Structure 1
Amino acid sequence: MNEQAVISEQDQLKENIRLLGRVLGQTISSAHGDEVLEQVEAIRKIAHDSSNNDEKARSELTSLLSSLSNEQMLIVARAFNQFLNLANIAEQYQSIAPGQENTHSGERVLVEFIRRSKDSVSAKDLQKALEELSIELVFTAHPTEVSRRTLIQKHQLLNDCLEALDKSTEVEQQDDIHGRIAELIAQAWHSDEIREQRPTPVDEAKWGFGVIEQSLWFAVPKFMRRIHKFLNDETDITMPTDWMPMSFVSWMGGDRDGNPFVTHKVSDEVLASSRWMAMDLYLHDVEQLCAEISVVVCNDTLRARVGDATEPYRVLLRQLRDDIHETRSYLSAKLTGESTDAKDVIQHTEQLREPLQLCYDSLVDSGLELIANGLLRDTLWRVHAFGAPLVKLDIRQDSERHTEVLSELTRYLGIGDYEQWSESDKQNFLLSELASKRPLIPADWQPSDNVQEVLNTFRLIAKTDPNALGIYIISMARQASDVLAVQLLLSECGCTYRMPVAPLFETLDDLNRSEHVIRKLLENDAYRGYLHGKQYIMIGYSDSAKDAGFFAAGWAQYRAQEALVNVAKEYDLQLILFHGRGGTVGRGGAPAHQALLSQPPGSLQGGLRVTEQGEMIRFKYGLTDLAVQSISRFAAAVLEGNLLPPPEPKQEWRDIMDQLSDTSCEVYRGMVRENPEFVPYFRAATPELELGKLPLGSRPTKRKPGGGVETLRAIPWIFAWSQNRMLLPAWLGTGEALEKVRQDGGEQELITMFEQWPFFNTRLSMLEMVFTKTDPWLARLYDEKLVPKDQRHLGEDLRSKLENSVQQVLDLIPTHSLMDADPQIHASINIRNPYIDPLNILQVELLLRSREQGEQSKETVLEKALMVTIAGVAAGLRNTG
């Protein structure tokens, strides 16, 4: 992108932000009076100076905000929170606005790669890569999701207004749009930003279905139309109608790891709700097809199916419409517990696909490709992408829960305690029982409630259509027995099909052991037979980073993937690596294209399976065009990773990464695990304890009650550190590690790694992003107000480590200026900072007041204001965990 285009784009973005901000100001004035608006504006102006390191402005801003009453704080917090949400809307729209020359455009990246690849890749290889292209997006709930669905819907409508304003030329029409913008912003201001009740897992699942209904349902055919057209225009490649490179999976209602609210009944309800939504969406499509396709000519196959009907397509489509309607009625009754005469007609995807494909083929045979390739083809693409289930449901459970089942069972049978056995004895027992023809679980056994729930989940899997389910993920998988245990329990509970079982390797030790575990499994003929040539393995980013820090986790993930790719080749298996990435750097987050191309060569050959979490689902898929861009970006990265893979790292680079990993892990663990002052400091300097009170996601913030950092989930761990602007998990240990390599004479090699190795380049680029969002001044303010004096030295030490980490990275990147290579992101952060800073200062004061009042405090205004600041900081940083 040329400099002039960047300026033009930024000017347009700022104009839209000014427009939305001006209307918000009018709304605040109307609701609370000019005096309140003037106060908000005064704070904004001081905050702007403060964000430019003006010490006098910082002092003035802190004093002013600290002097406000709780009620005043709530209004100010809401104002800045709302503004940041409006800035997000403007920025989101700008990324997809027509006529913008956007280097971040996923479509542009995809198109440019295919054009570029023609010089180095044969048409045959490109076509094969396209045919094998597989992108499976796994939507997960988020325990720190901060935006209510009602506000998200208003934000989507505001985006539509900005688009309409762009296209409008009539003054009267523009006036109408401005009026609609004012109405929507007023609705948002007079709504409660914070939900009163925690969402249930079913609520979260319905939120996920809503993203499909409002966006992805339209994005899938839009993406397919565009890529087909491009391939037809630019290449000799023609892909078949049934080619569908993407599919969708959900963890919402299936992820029971540490979430006691996800039960077999919840999963059953979510499966039914998902099918209901699918039937509702298909019903609209098929009704429109019935209305439009009044064609009278058809081929012999369709004629044989419908007889001598004058309008053959309508006969077939009306029957399909009635079957879908009947199925939707049946599912409605099931979900509400009412009796019904309706039948569950459409249970399998083929029942949707076959009549639609028959109509399509007949139209093509009749020379009516124009009609065939309209709405009918769009609907067929939706059937291929979503199927009858809409989204497949993954099931995830902690390995300890399976061990608990087998221990209780073996004790009941009088053969010992499974949990106490050696790994060898466990494997021998499991393999023997898998080969046995007799049942292991006695009919008269009455297990404990916890064990019964695990067994009920396996029985639900056994009776569910396998096409409605994804895979079974074992969190905290450490040994081969953890995988065999799930296979045995599936078999014992009557599962007649082979559900894919994926170990999740998520701590440093588990990642390092992953090759050994998989080899041990693959040595067994029966296990290899179970796989049918396809092995799923999940790589954990969140917990590995929480366990070992940034460099150590990233390098362990790389080496584990590398080793697993080699094992899969050895056994001639298709390896599908499932990436448990989050939105933040501390959880594996990075720009999709950059992150995927930094993986080891061969790691994308089985396709891409990746989690998309919470607020990142909104940011990447909440609007149709955003979803098209995101899918395009993934497609480009997977194609490039397979056709033009990144280089193998040199041995010298591996040696340096080993050193960076060891040094950074030692520093990270030395602080987080071994320093007895760290946990008390962490809980004083961040809102970690207060986060547990917020009615955010359905899942508790801890896997187990009590305990320290080790029991805290990775997401709220990172969330807490983002709130006080330290973002500690994403960088702690990196400065010392880089400094040691440089002192040992490795500086030039580090620079070469940055220039030539995508993996290392991405590491430093991710750190650049983190450092632009940290703010030592604000972090110090949290310490001064909230941390006991005898613990503040720890904060000083951490800020010194942060300063050193920033300097070490600056010394290695060519520009010696953070985010210089990405001016759009840099500009975005600069726009937000004057609005995030007051929220941080308010949060400090509110935390102080809340803690002084203690647990007995019933001050609802104070608590609500605190929640709003947390939501606002999250909105401003564009990620929560």
Structure 2
Amino acid sequence: MTVTTKLPTSEPVGTGFKAEATADSVRDNIRLLGRVLGQTISQAHGDEVLEQVESIRKIAVASRKEEAAAREDLTQLLTSLSDEQMLIVARAFNQFLNLANIAEQYQSIDPSHDLAHGGEDVLRTFLQRSKTEVSSVDLQQGLQELSIELVFTAHPTEVSRRTLIQKHQLLTDCLGALKGAQDEEQKDEIIERIGDLVAQAWHTDEIRERRPTPVDEAKWGFSVFESSLWYAVPKFMRRLHKMVEQETEFSMPRDWMPLSFVSWMGGDRDGNPFVTAEVSKEVLYSSRWMAMDLYLRDVEKLCSELSIVNCSEELRLVVGETSEPYRDLLRKLRDDIHETRDCLTAVLKGDSNSRARDVVTHTAQLLEPLELCHRSLMETGLENVANGLLRDTLWRVYAFGAPMVKLDIRQDSERHTEVLSELTRYLGIGDYAQWTEQNKQSFLLTELNSRRPLIPADWQPSESVAEVVATCRLIAQTDPGALGIYIISMAKYASDVLAVQLLLRECGCQYPMSVAPLFETLDDLNRSESVIGELFKSDWYRGYLQGQQHVMIGYSDSAKDAGFFAAGWAQYRAQEALVNLAQKYDIKLVLFHGRGGTVGRGGAPAHSALLSQPPGSLAGGLRVTEQGEMIRFKYGLTDLAVQSMSRFSAAILEGNLLPPPKPKPSWREVMDNLSESSCAVYRGIVREDPSFVPYFRAATPEQELGKLPLGSRPTKRKPGGGVETLRAIPWIFAWSQSRMMLPAWLGTGEALEKARQEFEPVLLEMFEQWPFFRTRLSMLEMVFAKTEPWLASLYDQHLVPEDQRHWGEALRGRLANSIHQLVELVPSHRLMESDPQLKASIKIRNPYIDPLNILQVELLRRSRECGEVCGGTVLEKALMVTIAGVAAGLRNTG
């Protein structure tokens, strides 16, 4: 039966939709999904509840038309609800925003949609443009050196459950099927299936009952590989090869693979006591289990399909006389993979009695038989067979290898200092932590050049030190192909890098694992050139590097430390200096960008963000973090993942072959001025005024975020303290929830106002000619479009003590000035004029996010009156749903 509705027909959720209509636009799809959601709510709770939700929606729409009375009515209506009513209303608006995300995701991958913001056209356009601007030799070399390493990380504010994400993926499939439906009966069946999935989602608890473990987070990450990336990689490579052949004079080799994948889930122990050596070991096993399971499916299909008799002499020598040479070879591989999966299953279950053997441990064991089959098919004239499923499987092996995803290890520099300090005290040679930097380096290099062991066999370290040593020993015992790099967070000195290399060697690591310092604060970024320069001067260190150095650039903590302009300019200058330094020593530099989805964490559209980097900074390829909800939004569907890969490819090629201009001296002077001015304002408020932190904790849900079962990682690096102890993501997330977005703009208005008085012609020149500066301003535009001062004021009125409310008034005044300064500077003089698609998206979502914010304020008030968030209560669950809904509505929230 087809879905019917009693909803009115004026706005997206309440718009009637006839079954015979086709969902050929994002608005039509939002209307369809919203209508089905309304039907589901009516069936579950009755027409009276649906009418209440619809009434709230109508008032919210009216309030968006600047009707002050409607805002007051909306607030009064929502705050009068009981906890139970609040939960239903919050769930309704949360689910709608998730459905809106689904509609937008489908729109972006719909082949008939204008791909102005898509990926494939961007890449093809660059290849076409390169014909006249880049030599064929340079383009071929640029393609050959193309390297995209995507690093997936867990998200301490990711609230979506895996089961709901899977339902959302099925809904996207339904939208595609609906568009391709041939008749009314088929359309009705698809709409029925949509109704079924929406009902399933409504009757599923969207909030976790317990905090996820690091292993849970890793498995969530693996699900993206299983459902999307496994299919996206060969699809992307097939299109990329075809594009290169169509648009250039050459073709790329068969084994060319610019993609690789890394995870921090289960490896990032910075400030997370739940990530231990045992957890990392389990995640490594689980990752390989998933790889074996996926390869087994592919190889079984190949065994079924490759019944071909003729083969090359090379293959015949391996399999002997047989009528099915390919099947015989692949059956052996299939059996080895099957046994390996069984062995890993037993290991993960703790079954020590299993007789299954761990056969496939290295990528070469997968590649050799598959490549042999491919060579044989090509040699015997069966190119179409060779380049079908077999080639797809080979591409997967090139990209994922035996581990499926490599595991990075990250640890705070203080933990390594703690190990060496405890060890040197035990050895009676002093306290390493108290030594000067010069003495530390001298000691470390002496030990690294020594052949004798440093750690005595009878040493009994403390528990925290033993855990760091256990991690280093795990690295030594693990296949290097299963590991990425070792990242040192809060790296400040050359000794921080040398310390890790010494600990790895002392724990038996026989290969030079790449160790990357992460420069996070403003001071650390400014010092990065001297730190790496000191290391490069060491003969031992350059020998260890084997020609390649990884350096991670921190976006989150630098912005938390110094504000938007100062952090961005410090990141730029650090990259610029490191590129020059690497060129001087003839070392390949791989810059690792620790970006997030939000502007406060360096977030920006991938293409423009990469093209705004300093010239030469992409020469070593791109290594970038993808985090939490952004993984879903960019890689959760196969075609979305293909688009993201295409955008990255186009931007890297353009950045390397047609680099942006180097900043003029006058531009540098203006950026120095903007950075200094904005940093002074930002730090003066956030770090230097002791009354600010109490206001922040009252005016946002920061305290509640730490108590709710979100990510596995604590919200603070250390207990107690102020903003400096708070992790960057919860800091940004809390301000996003209150719609102030403060970390992304504080200080920019004062800095722009001062700069406009002194340098306005230069600012306009920078906007027109310098991608870095233009991108910074477009990022601010997006932030300002998502701020809502009237909602932030509501948090103040109901949650902040009266003697602290002056903070909110002052900050909203600074926000208004920041918007004014940007609007006056940007030639269009209207926010988001350059991105009408995003502007329209925000406009559609706002009436559905607003009620969630108002509900959140009231729920926080009730919760704080109780003295704490009581686990398992309706109030706590409703609060969680509002947090999830605001995050879904704003999308890039952490």
TM-score range, shorter chain: over 0.9
SS at match of 2:457: coil
Structure 2 counterpart of 1:84, which letter? Answer: L
**Do the aligned partners of residues 859 and 528 (structure 1) sit closer, same or farther apart at CA in structure 2, a change above 3 Å counting?**
closer
Q: What do residues 451-480 of structure 1 show as CA deviations (whole Å, max 9, x unaligned)?
A: 000000000000100010000000000000
Conservation of the 8 A alpha-carbon contact between 1:47 and 1:57: yes
Q: Distance in 2 between matches of 1:579 and 1:183?
A: 41
Structure 2 counterpart of 1:205, which letter? Answer: A
Q: Is 1:721 the equivalent of 2:735?
A: yes
SS at match of 1:394: strand
Q: Is 1:652 the equivalent of 2:652?
A: no
Q: Distance in 1 between matches of 2:840 and 2:178?
A: 23
Match of 2:747 in 1: 733
Q: Distance in 2 between matches of 1:788 and 1:54?
A: 28
Gaps of 5+ in 1: 1-7
Conservation of the 8 A alpha-carbon contact between 1:145 and 1:880: no
Match of 2:568 in 1: 554
Conservation of the 8 A alpha-carbon contact between 2:700 and 2:735: yes
After superposition, where does 1:472-621 map in structure 2 within 5 Å?
472-621=486-635
**Do the aligned partners of residues 858 and 204 (structure 1) sit closer, same or farther apart at CA in structure 2, a change above 3 Å counting?**
closer
After superposition, where does 1:314-333 map in structure 2 within 5 Å?
314-333=327-346
After superposition, where does 1:82-101 map in structure 2 within 5 Å?
82-101=95-114
Gaps of 5+ in 2: 1-20
Q: Distance in 2 between matches of 1:164 and 1:487?
A: 54
Match of 1:226 in 2: 239
**Do the aligned partners of residues 719 and 856 (structure 1) sit closer, same or farther apart at CA in structure 2, a change above 3 Å counting?**
closer
Q: Distance in 1 between matches of 2:22 and 2:755?
A: 41
Conservation of the 8 A alpha-carbon contact between 1:51 and 1:837: no
Conservation of the 8 A alpha-carbon contact between 1:254 and 1:267: yes
Structure 2 counterpart of 1:318, which letter? Answer: R
After superposition, where does 1:254-653 map in structure 2 within 5 Å?
254-338=267-351, 339-653=353-667
Deviation (angstroms), 1:229: 1.1
SS at match of 1:153: helix
- Farther-moved stretch of structure 1 (807-816 vs 521-530): 807-816
After superposition, where does 1:114-263 map in structure 2 within 5 Å?
114-263=127-276
Q: What do residues 31-56 of structure 1 show as CA deviations (whole Å, max 9, x unaligned)?
A: 11101100100100110111222111
Q: What do residues 596-648 of structure 1 show as CA deviations (whole Å, max 9, x unaligned)?
A: 00000000000000000011000000000000000000000000000000000
Q: Distance in 2 between matches of 1:105 and 1:534?
A: 33
Q: Distance in 1 between matches of 2:110 and 2:776?
A: 30
Q: Identity, % of aligned pairs?
A: 76
Q: Is 1:785 the equivalent of 2:785?
A: no
Q: What do residues 511-559 of structure 1 show as CA deviations (whole Å, max 9, x unaligned)?
A: 0000000000011000000000000000000000000000000000000
**Do the aligned partners of residues 803 and 328 (structure 1) sit closer, same or farther apart at CA in structure 2, a change above 3 Å counting?**
same
Q: Distance in 1 between matches of 2:470 and 2:705?
A: 32
**Do the aligned partners of residues 820 and 523 (structure 1) sit closer, same or farther apart at CA in structure 2, a change above 3 Å counting?**
same
Q: Distance in 2 between matches of 1:441 and 1:308?
A: 57
Conservation of the 8 A alpha-carbon contact between 2:53 and 2:92: yes
Deviation (angstroms), 1:11: 7.2
Structure 1 counterpart of 2:860, which letter? Answer: L
Structure 2 counterpart of 1:164, which letter? Answer: A
Q: Distance in 2 between matches of 1:146 and 1:756?
A: 41
Q: Distance in 2 between matches of 1:270 and 1:852?
A: 41
Structure 1 counterpart of 2:496, which letter? Answer: D
Conservation of the 8 A alpha-carbon contact between 2:260 and 2:399: yes
Q: Is 1:751 the equivalent of 2:764?
A: yes
SS at match of 1:504: strand
**Do the aligned partners of residues 64 and 856 (structure 1) sit closer, same or farther apart at CA in structure 2, a change above 3 Å counting?**
closer
Deviation (angstroms), 1:743: 1.6
Q: Distance in 1 between matches of 2:804 and 2:538?
A: 54
Conservation of the 8 A alpha-carbon contact between 1:9 and 1:94: no
**Do the aligned partners of residues 597 and 284 (structure 1) sit closer, same or farther apart at CA in structure 2, a change above 3 Å counting?**
same
Deviation (angstroms), 1:9: 13
Conservation of the 8 A alpha-carbon contact between 2:346 and 2:354: yes
TM-score (normalizing by structure 1): 0.98
Conservation of the 8 A alpha-carbon contact between 1:473 and 1:502: yes
Q: Distance in 2 between matches of 1:610 and 1:327?
A: 31
Structure 2 counterpart of 1:482, which letter? Answer: D
**Do the aligned partners of residues 647 and 469 (structure 1) sit closer, same or farther apart at CA in structure 2, a change above 3 Å counting?**
same
Conservation of the 8 A alpha-carbon contact between 1:477 and 1:503: yes
Match of 1:76 among 68, 74, 89: 89
Q: Distance in 1 between matches of 2:869 and 2:134?
A: 68
Conservation of the 8 A alpha-carbon contact between 2:660 and 2:771: yes
Conservation of the 8 A alpha-carbon contact between 2:23 and 2:29: no
Deviation (angstroms), 1:858: 6.5
- Farther-moved stretch of structure 1 (583-592 vs 10-19): 10-19
Q: Distance in 1 between matches of 2:595 and 2:23?
A: 30
Deviation (angstroms), 1:299: 1.0
Q: What do residues 779-812 of structure 1 show as CA deviations (whole Å, max 9, x unaligned)?
A: 1111111111111111111000000000111111
Match of 1:871 in 2: 884
Aligned residues: CA RMSD: 1.1
SS at match of 1:290: helix
Conservation of the 8 A alpha-carbon contact between 1:471 and 1:501: yes
**Do the aligned partners of residues 731 and 121 (structure 1) sit closer, same or farther apart at CA in structure 2, a change above 3 Å counting?**
same
SS at match of 1:870: helix
Conservation of the 8 A alpha-carbon contact between 1:257 and 1:396: yes
Q: Distance in 2 between matches of 1:517 and 1:57?
A: 58
Q: Distance in 1 between matches of 2:246 and 2:414?
A: 54
Q: What do residues 368-399 of structure 1 show as CA deviations (whole Å, max 9, x unaligned)?
A: 10000000000000000000000000000000
Structure 2 counterpart of 1:502, which letter? Answer: A
Conservation of the 8 A alpha-carbon contact between 1:9 and 1:100: no
Deviation (angstroms), 1:437: 1.1
Q: Distance in 2 between matches of 1:668 and 1:325?
A: 57
Conservation of the 8 A alpha-carbon contact between 2:23 and 2:179: no
Q: Distance in 1 between matches of 2:323 and 2:244?
A: 37
Q: Distance in 1 between matches of 2:696 and 2:319?
A: 71
SS at match of 1:393: strand
Q: Distance in 2 between matches of 1:364 and 1:725?
A: 59
Conservation of the 8 A alpha-carbon contact between 2:255 and 2:398: yes
Structure 2 counterpart of 1:80, which letter? Answer: F
Q: Distance in 2 between matches of 1:12 and 1:377?
A: 35
Deviation (angstroms), 1:880: 2.5
TM-score (normalizing by structure 2): 0.97
SS at match of 1:58: helix
SS at match of 2:518: strand
Deviation (angstroms), 1:169: 1.7
Deviation (angstroms), 1:856: 8.0
Match of 2:682 among 668, 672, 676: 668
SS at match of 1:118: helix
After superposition, where does 1:786-801 map in structure 2 within 5 Å?
786-801=799-814
Match of 1:3 in 2: none
Match of 1:844 in 2: 857
Deviation (angstroms), 1:236: 1.6
Match of 2:789 among 767, 776, 779: 776
Deviation (angstroms), 1:826: 0.3
Match of 1:36 among 40, 49, 62: 49
Conservation of the 8 A alpha-carbon contact between 2:704 and 2:869: no
Conservation of the 8 A alpha-carbon contact between 1:411 and 1:417: yes
Structure 1 counterpart of 2:855, which letter? Answer: L
